Amino acid sequence: MKRVTAFRFLLPPADRFEGKLEDVFDLQDQVATSVVGELVTEVEFAEMERATRKPTASLDAYDCYLRGLSHQFKFSKNDAEVALGYFLKALELDQNFALA
């Protein structure tokens, strides 16, 4: 009998999967199901947290935020500086705009 133990970063330490080597595909299904269950929980928590953030009522602040995002993901020093300028402008327009 072989023992399969999931890594800590995937599953809580109490989750262990044991079976015969011939049942390796059944063990794989059990591990996959357990990992998906853990990921769904994490994603649901992240979505609930995101939903509690209040969006801005200022369209100008939101516009600056979107313009900043477009520069942020170009991954150059110049674009990073431009993105920061837009994010700071968005915060000037709405100090409670958490995404900016």
39: its two tokens:
């990921």
The segment with the largest mean pLDDT, out of 4-8, 50-54, 63-67, 72-76, is: 63-67
Rounded distance, CA 34 to CA 16, Å?
10
Q: Where are the domains of the chain?
A: 2-52, 59-93
5 vs 56 pLDDT, higher one: 56
Which amino acid is located at 80 in the chain? A
pLDDT in tens, 64-95: 999 999 999 888 999 999 999 999 999 999 98
62 vs 32 pLDDT, higher one: 62
Indicate yes or no: pTM above 0.75: no
DSSP 22: G
